[in-house]
Amino acid sequence: MLNINDLAPDFSLFADNGEKVSLSDFRGKKVVLYFYPKDNTPGCTKEACSFRDVYDDIISKGAIVIGISTDSIDSHLKFKKKLNLPFYLLSDPDHKVIEMYGQWVKKSMYGKEFFGTQRSTFIIDENGKILKIFQKVKPDEHGKEILALL
């Protein structure tokens, strides 16, 4: 499990636009790295929109936003276009990065247990260190919560 002040593990994944994006590409900026379960679901839509609505303010604070889920690049592209999302959505179909950050967890729904992505956010500083970890996020308020921290 990762903790505050740990060096955030570097990774490279494909983005919604087909380009490969690495965490280390953003050294010198703060990174709002958020993990979410699934494109086009109610909670994930609210969360993405909460980031979208404060995105310009986040950028003005010297930070960028990156979302990661197990969805395909095609799914991300549709989700991004539908909601007019200005930030990267990265595809982690094998959940390797999600696991690296300790966010691949056992869940339960309707009495059935399964593994999936835990909704969470990591704030990473300009040098790659973890400043803050948010677990069990309230999707519709999260963008403003992050902005207040930055």
Range of the domain at 124: 29-149
What pLDDT, on a 0 to 100 scale, did the predictor assign at position 1? 84
pLDDT-derived band at 137 (thresholds 50, 70, 90) equals confident
Residue 23 lies in a domain: no
Residue 74 lies in a domain: yes
Residue 11 lies in a domain: no
User: Is 44 labeled as catalytic in the residue annotation?
Assistant: yes
What confidence tens digit (pLDDT) does each residue in 75-123 have?
999 999 999 999 999 999 999 999 999 998 887 778 888 788 999 999 9
Nearest to 101 by CA among 84, 127, 124, 80: 124
- Contact 7/126 with Cβ under 8 angstroms? no
* Catalytic residue chosen out of the listed positions 15, 21, 44, 58: 44
Indicate the number of domains in the chain.
Answer: 1
CATH code of the domain covering residue 36: 3.40.30.10
Residue 91 lies in a domain: yes
What confidence tens digit (pLDDT) does each residue in 22-42 have?
999 999 999 999 999 999 999
Residue 6 lies in a domain: no
